[in-house]
Amino acid sequence: MKKINIVLLIVLVLIIGGIAIILNFHVANPGKEPVQVSLEDMTLEEKVYQMMVISASDIKDDTITFGGVVYFKKDIETLEGIQSKLAAAQKGKKTPPILAVDEEGGRVSRLKDLYPELGQTPLPPMAEITDDGTETGAVLADVLAKVGFNTDFAPVADVGQESAAIGDRAFSTDPAKTAIKVVGVVTALESKNIITTLKHFPGHGSALADTHEGLSITDKSRESFEAVDFIPFEAGIAAGADMIMTAHITAPALDPAGVPATFSKPILTGILREELDFEGVIITDALGMGAVAEKGTEGSIQAIEAGVDILLMPLDYEATKDAIIAAVKSGRLTEERINESVMRILQMKANHGMI
């Protein structure tokens, strides 16, 4: 047989094999997408763990498949070391986890020490960048991809105002300029298949106290939020941002009940979902922060009731899992509500080729 005929035969076999795989999937799962099949293959416990992103150093059982793992400076000593950890985090997992890091640039840069080895110069604070966000985003994307992260808890979409906790992490004190740079970073990261996260909704810029330490309340009006703080988030949503991280701030003008936004259904479901039409994943800020830590497992349940999909670093993930399952069994939460969040998480992963 001539060489060209052998090549054609091999190609034909591969094509037929591929068609067979597709047909077998649809015969076994008629009318179902892979994401739906993945959901139906999960136990309730697996679904609940899919709704958590846990700090790498807090994981006590490597057999659990969490929705994701987040890494901090203490986890990142050498390039080879972190690459090995990222590979290990994915090994044997039923559903690939998001591998996340807070890599904003400036004072929030967990990978700063690796930049020279990766051929990049560490980024300045976002308030000091002079491009429209595209070049900055390209640097972030290059570094993240080379290290092996698939998720960035960035960009900051807060408009720089009075908050010292945000300060020079914000692109600008002008909402329009902030929006432009948010779009630039989101677009650059997404072009390299990095999951992006706008933070911290509904806008931390005017809340003076640092929510890492305790409660932070803003007396800003609803009109001011709409004219200033929401603008960059709307732009980032339109640009295709995958996730939005909540702020633990309290904004009575948006929710008269006076609860932190992380637990506020009027803010997360009423405004973010219904008014701003965000269909992606809502993730909390870290649940061990001073503003919310005292709520414990109850806070995680309240966050889900408010519309949250992913719980970031609950203080005790086993106790949190048990509390959520108990809430489902008691009827306080429904499994359908859990499924809604897990479907969003799985779809996000599928959109980035992880499923």
Mean pLDDT by 10 residues, the chain (355 residues): 39 37 42 85 97 97 96 96 97 95 97 97 97 98 98 96 83 97 98 97 75 74 96 98 96 95 98 98 93 88 98 96 98 98 98 94
Three-class SS of residue 260?
strand
CA atoms within 13 A on the CB side of 207: 30
Catalytic residue among 102, 158, 255, 285: 285
Distance of CA 113 to the CA centre of its chain: 23
What count of residues does the chain have?
355
Positive or negative, the CA dihedral 27, 29, 34, 38 is negative
On whether the CB atoms of residues 133 and 141 are closer than 8 A, the answer is: no
- The pLDDT assigned to 1 comes to 43
**DSSP string for 274-307:** IIS---SEEEPSPTTSTTTGGGHHHHHHHHHHHT
* Cβ-based neighbours of 31, under 8 Å, separated by 6 or more: none
Catalytic residue among 58, 75, 210, 212: 212
In the annotation, is 285 catalytic?
Answer: yes
Positive or negative, the CA dihedral 267, 181, 194, 316 is negative
In the annotation, is 229 catalytic?
Answer: no
Rounded CA-CA distance 150/228 in Å is: 30
- The pLDDT assigned to 289 comes to 86
- The pLDDT assigned to 205 comes to 76
Q: Centre a 10 Å sphere on the Cβ of residue 315 and count the other Cβ atoms it contains.
A: 18
- The pLDDT assigned to 213 comes to 56
Q: What does each C-alpha distance from 155 to 88, 102, 160, 293 come to in angstroms?
A: 27, 9, 13, 24
* Cβ-based neighbours of 111, under 8 Å, separated by 6 or more: 76, 101, 103, 143, 144, 147
Q: What residue segments make up the domains of the chain, in order of their start?
A: 1-31, 34-351
- Which of 3.40.1390.30, 3.20.20.300, 3.40.50.20, 1.10.1530.10 would CATH assign to domain 34-351? 3.20.20.300
- The pLDDT assigned to 162 comes to 73
When the pLDDT of each residue in the chain is averaged and rounded to a whole number, the result is: 90
